[in-house]
Amino acid sequence: MFEIRYFTVNPFQENTYVLINEQKQCIIIDPGFYYQNEREEFLQFIRENGLTVARLLNTHCHLDHIFSNALVVKTFGVGMEMHQKDQVVLDRSPQSASMYNLPMEPSPMPKSYLEEGDKVVLGEDELEVILTPGHSPGSISFYCAKQQFVIAGDVLFKQSVGRSDFPGGNFETLARSIRQKLYKLPDDTIVYPGHGPSTTIGFEKRHNPFVPEDPTADFA
């Protein structure tokens, strides 16, 4: 069983997730630690809990989700994994950092690419990779059927959705990803988003004003 811990960090208030199994192995998803105190708190958390970092995953490669990719790779000797369609976003990240006046160490290149349907296995636990583009061309979500949760990056938020006006984004694609992929999950599935509080699939199907379950109700 995964224990899910998260840190809300950096100027964009991004949620970084650490999934811990019973053997104290962990998966880090979207490490966004930017400020030095955030990085120190994260490293202290890993040390004090005796954790072994086994995987580094990115739901997508916008700046706020990759600030600490280099830190994790260098400190723990793991490679970064992402979807190939977000390579163009990763390649653009140094320019994005300059645009926001947020200097950063560039993210390492991925050690491998994840595809839809892949299983990310850690001991007896696993996550299924779901391709959910629209916020970025290669956005992916990580679904744990056994524990009924999905880490959705910036695709679906509580009563909101990710922006689709960045390069490579598209609202119609985003809405299709949400309806055809995420809304097909069980209603009690907990959604852990890249920003803001958690929600559930059932709640969003009924109350999300941007992507209602019934597409004829769209007004966004």
65-122 confidence digits (pLDDT tens): 999 999 999 999 999 999 999 999 999 999 999 999 999 999 999 999 999 999 999 9
- Summarised one tens digit per residue, pLDDT across range 115-124 is 999 999 999 9
**Structural domains of the chain, ranges and CATH numbers in brackets:** 3-217 (3.60.15.10)
* The pLDDT of residue 59 is above 50: yes
Alpha-carbon span 149 to 169, nearest angstrom:
25
User: What number is the average pLDDT over the span 158-171?
Assistant: 96
User: What number is the average pLDDT over the span 46-62?
Assistant: 98
Q: What is the pLDDT of residue 208?
A: 97
User: What pLDDT band is residue 216 in, cutting at 50, 70 and 90?
Assistant: low
- Summarised one tens digit per residue, pLDDT across range 127-139 is 999 999 999 999 9
User: What number is the average pLDDT over the span 33-46?
Assistant: 98
User: What number is the average pLDDT over the span 164-174?
Assistant: 95
Q: What is the pLDDT of residue 219?
A: 44
Strand segments, DSSP code E, in 77-159 are 80-82, 112-113, 119-122, 125-131, 140-144, 149-153, 156-157
Instruction: Assess contact for 34 and 102: CB atoms under 8 A.
Output: yes
Query: Which of these, 123, 125, 118, 215, lies nearest to 175 by C-alpha position?
Result: 215
Alpha-carbon span 166 to 59, nearest angstrom:
16
* Structure tokens given for 31: 């490490």
Alpha-carbon span 68 to 88, nearest angstrom:
19
| Helix ranges restricted to H, the chain | 36-48, 69-76, 87-99, 171-177, 201-207
- Summarised one tens digit per residue, pLDDT across range 9-31 is 999 999 999 999 999 999 999 99
Terminal alpha carbon distance of the chain: 38
User: What pLDDT band is residue 214 in, cutting at 50, 70 and 90?
Assistant: confident
Instruction: Assess contact for 28 and 120: CB atoms under 8 A.
Output: no
Instruction: Assess contact for 129 and 116: CB atoms under 8 A.
Output: yes
User: What pLDDT band is residue 215 in, cutting at 50, 70 and 90?
Assistant: confident
Q: What percent of the chain shows pLDDT beyond 70?
A: 98
Q: What is the pLDDT of residue 220?
A: 42
